Amino acid sequence: MKEFFKGLFKENPVLVLLLGLCPSLAVSNSIINAIGMGCAATFVLVCSNAMVSATGRWIPSKIRIPCYIVIIATFVTMVQMVMSAYLPKLNEALGIFIPLIVVNCIILGRAEAFASRNGVLSSILDGLGMGMGFTLALVTIAFFREILGNGSFLDIKITNFYSVDGAIHPAAVMVMAPGAFIVIALLIGYLNLRKQRATKRA
């Protein structure tokens, strides 16, 4: 199970490996958007890892990357069709970032670095762990951005914390790109500080 748990914290794709920052900046202004993007990426990660691991031995090394992209694009298309049919509002909110999963460096990187060299079960667990880690990072970033920037939680206004006549108002910068950079930087700094303290204790 280490292949699963490493993606959550030790090798978190966003906060440790610094992969997939583009969608992390763009869709993390809302927890609902973050969950939707995370679930879509997790599905594609698990399915593409399993397919690459199962068929990797028959793919010539010179064309492996184009083949991986075709496999990933197939599952991304499935996700987009399902979302457009059953979750049109979420699909509209995520916009271009659902098709861009095809070139997400997390997914292509795991296919090349892990799935092509390991068994199907290990590859599925790796994809699930990395996907859950990606989702966890997105939701954590979105939690702070949505509360501080919109004064809401899961699109529900927090009337007790923010008020029209009160002294505290939502900071609009938090739902913009600079707010995402600030939150990600603080989270990375916090994780690095904890890692340094753990190293000193050891």
Q: What is the pLDDT of residue 186?
A: 93
Report yes or no: 84 and 159 within 8 Å, Cβ to Cβ. no
Report the alpha-carbon distance of residue 45 to residue 101 in Å, rounded.
Answer: 10
Q: What is the pLDDT of residues 143-179, one digit of tens each?
A: 999 888 887 788 777 766 555 555 567 777 888 888 8
Range of the domain at 141: 2-201
Q: What is the pLDDT of residues 55-82, one digit of tens each?
A: 988 888 889 899 999 999 999 999 999 9
Q: What is the pLDDT of residue 82?
A: 94
Q: What is the pLDDT of residue 154?
A: 83
In the chain, the number of structural domains is: 1
156-157 vs 152-153, strand pairing mode: antiparallel
Q: What is the pLDDT of residues 174-188, one digit of tens each?
A: 888 888 999 999 999
Q: What is the pLDDT of residue 168?
A: 62
What pTM was computed for the model? 0.88
Report the alpha-carbon distance of residue 189 to residue 181 in Å, rounded.
Answer: 12
